[in-house]
Amino acid sequence: MDFSLSDDQKMIVETAQKVGAHYGLDYWRTIDKAEEFPHEFWRAVCDAGLCGAALPETDGGSGLGMLDLVLIIEALAAGGGGSTVGQLFMINPIFGGVSMSRFGQPGLRAEMLPKIISGEMNACMALTEPDAGSNTLEIRSFAAADGDGWRLRGQKIWITGVPDAQKMLVVARTRKLEPGMRRTAGLSMFMIDVEREGLTWSRIDKLGTHTLASCTVFFDDVRIEPGELVGTLDGGWTELLDVLNTERLVTTAGLVGTGQLAIKLAVDYANNRKIFADRPIGSYQGLQFPLAQCHAEIESARVLNYKAASNYDQGLPYGSEANWGKLLAAQAVSRATERSMQTMGGMGFARDSHVERLWRDCRLFRFAPVSEEMVLNYIAVHDLGMPRGY
Ligand SMILES: Cc1cc2nc3c(=O)[nH]c(=O)nc-3n(C[C@H](O)[C@H](O)[C@H](O)COP(=O)(O)OP(=O)(O)OC[C@H]3O[C@@H](n4cnc5c(N)ncnc54)[C@H](O)[C@@H]3O)c2cc1C
């Protein structure tokens, strides 16, 4: 087991650090306030060849591994963007890229992937429904056969990046659940245009992650063309899980970078702020210990995520490690941003301190893209062999 980075990996990280630093804290503070998509940042990421890092060279990517991608995201997130950087990689190279490179049909794959990699096209992913929530198998959106294609009806909620996306990966039922049928059967994935007759959306007012709009989406008889089916008709469940597990890796990487940034901001502040004595508040163990604890926790999540990514690259099972890493990272970073704010006292509450944005944004990842309770359910059932309690 070798934890050292190769020279190539060091170079990639350096490139990502440069892009991350160029679009630093003030850039993110401005677009967060304006609730604008980080177009300039994402263009720079794509121009530096980082978006397509883990996508195949035959599709215009760099053909590097998932571990390389994880390193890139950590460095970019630590530059100022925080956990939103993980989400950007989630919606574009994962939902738009991995889904197509692994399961897309040749025509759409050739049309989409170069544009996703160059940043000319953005994607989003529509899985969650108001009445199904974490119980994905209860989704009701239904794509009924219509000639050579389908007609989609239904509703989704919390779909992120819709206003700035051209393509949407939609998960729908293509067979109604019948008695005796496995609940995992009858699900399919489609890649459709966001601008299409019958597809409407409205923006949800929310606590954080303001640069990426989250929306309710309505499908009213939306036509789906045959070439837009992604993967196997009626058999999309396991293919969907394949896409979702890679989503965990990029989420965790974004969180790890956020945790490092939050701790750095707190340490810089504490080492310069003098109160009560001629020594900085950073010398008080009451402030040091919680930050030191958070540091150890974030580094643990980081190592776990490296193992998951490395397993993925070697074609080994990685689902459990990906879930453990995401669980620990979301909790650790939630604490780290909270402790960072506490360390700064009143200044932590000021937007200029930046930590309030990191704190707001990272809170999301304790219940999305999968909630910590559902990860614990997974661990209890799949890793520990306990009976399913729900
Ligand atoms: C800002 C934001 C962005 C998002 N972006 C997207 C996106 O782009 N695409 C997309 O498809 N979805 C997206 N989501 C949806 C997200 O994945 C869901 O919110 C998440 O999966 C949880 O589902 P829910 O909100 O319906 O909670 P629910 O499923 O209603 O759960 C509520 C609570 O009950 C707990 N719970 C539920 N079942 C169990 C159980 N069996 N055992 C123990 N506890 C349980 C949950 O852990 C949670 O704490 C986003 C959500 C948010 C808030």
**Predicted confidence band of residue 235 (pLDDT cuts 50, 70, 90):** very high
Taking the centre of ligand 1 as the mean of its atom positions, its distance from the CA of residue 386, in whole angstroms, is 23
Q: Is the peptide bond before 56 cis (omega within 30 degrees of 0)?
A: no
Which CATH fold topology does 124-234 show?
Answer: Butyryl-CoA Dehydrogenase, subunit A; domain 2 (2.40.110)
Structure tokens given for 128: 């969650």
When pLDDT is averaged across residues 99-127 and rounded to a whole number, the result is 97
Q: Which amino acid is at 217?
A: V
* The pLDDT of residue 123 is above 90: yes
pLDDT tens digits, one per residue of 295-342: 999 999 999 999 999 999 999 999 999 999 999 999 999 999 999 999
Atom 3 of ligand 1, residue of closest alpha carbon: 158
At the fourth CATH level, which superfamily is domain 238-383? Butyryl-CoA Dehydrogenase, subunit A, domain 3 (1.20.140.10)
* The pLDDT of residue 237 is above 90: yes
Burial class (CB in 10 A: 0-12, 13-18, 19+), 111: middle
246 contacts 174 by C-beta, under 8 angstroms: no
Q: Ligand 1 pocket, 128 CB below 6 A?
A: yes
When pLDDT is averaged across residues 164-186 and rounded to a whole number, the result is 95
- The best mutation among 128, 171, 323 to test binding of ligand 1, ranked by most ligand atoms within 8 Å of the C-beta, falls on 128
- Fold equal for 7-122 and 124-234: no
Can you give the three-state secondary structure of 263-311, one letter per residue? Answer: HHHHHHHHCCCECCCCCEHHHCHHHHHHHHHHHHHHHHHHHHHHHHHHH
Helix (H, G, I), strand (E, B) or coil at 105: coil
Q: Ligand 1 pocket, 367 CB below 6 A?
A: yes
Taking the centre of ligand 1 as the mean of its atom positions, its distance from the CA of residue 145, in whole angstroms, is 29
- Distance between CA atoms of 210 and 172, rounded to whole angstroms? 27
Taking the centre of ligand 1 as the mean of its atom positions, its distance from the CA of residue 95, in whole angstroms, is 18
Domain boundaries, given as residue ranges, for the chain: 7-122, 124-234, 238-383
- Distance between CA atoms of 52 and 60, rounded to whole angstroms? 7
When pLDDT is averaged across residues 208-235 and rounded to a whole number, the result is 98
Taking the centre of ligand 1 as the mean of its atom positions, its distance from the CA of residue 330, in whole angstroms, is 14
When pLDDT is averaged across residues 277-294 and rounded to a whole number, the result is 96
Q: What is the predicted pLDDT for the residue at 341?
A: 98
**Which atom of ligand 1 lies closest to the CA of 208?**
1
Q: What is the predicted pLDDT for the residue at 277?
A: 81
What is the pLDDT of the chain when averaged over all its residues?
96
**Predicted confidence band of residue 66 (pLDDT cuts 50, 70, 90):** very high
Q: Which amino acid is at 192?
A: I
* The pLDDT of residue 366 is above 90: yes
Atom 41 of ligand 1, residue of closest alpha carbon: 390
Please give the share of the chain, as a percent, with pLDDT higher than 70.
100
**Predicted confidence band of residue 135 (pLDDT cuts 50, 70, 90):** very high
- The CATH number of 7-122 is which of 1.10.540.10, 3.90.1310.10, 3.40.50.1220, 3.40.50.150? 1.10.540.10
When pLDDT is averaged across residues 149-178 and rounded to a whole number, the result is 97
236 contacts 224 by C-beta, under 8 angstroms: no
348 contacts 341 by C-beta, under 8 angstroms: yes
**Which atom of ligand 1 lies closest to the CA of 91?**
8
**Predicted confidence band of residue 76 (pLDDT cuts 50, 70, 90):** very high
Q: Ligand 1 pocket, 377 CB below 6 A?
A: yes
pTM for the complete prediction?
Answer: 0.96
Q: What's the Rg (C-alpha) of the chain?
A: 21
Q: Ligand 1 pocket, 251 CB below 6 A?
A: no
Q: Ligand 1 pocket, 374 CB below 6 A?
A: yes
Taking the centre of ligand 1 as the mean of its atom positions, its distance from the CA of residue 372, in whole angstroms, is 10
List CB contacts of 93: < 8 A, sequence separation 6 or more.
51, 52, 53, 54, 55, 69, 116, 117, 250
When pLDDT is averaged across residues 130-152 and rounded to a whole number, the result is 96
Taking the centre of ligand 1 as the mean of its atom positions, its distance from the CA of residue 130, in whole angstroms, is 10
Q: What is the predicted pLDDT for the residue at 335?
A: 98
Taking the centre of ligand 1 as the mean of its atom positions, its distance from the CA of residue 133, in whole angstroms, is 5
Structure tokens given for 256: 């790890």
Q: Ligand 1 pocket, 133 CB below 6 A?
A: yes
**Predicted confidence band of residue 245 (pLDDT cuts 50, 70, 90):** confident
* The pLDDT of residue 2 is above 90: no
**Predicted confidence band of residue 1 (pLDDT cuts 50, 70, 90):** confident
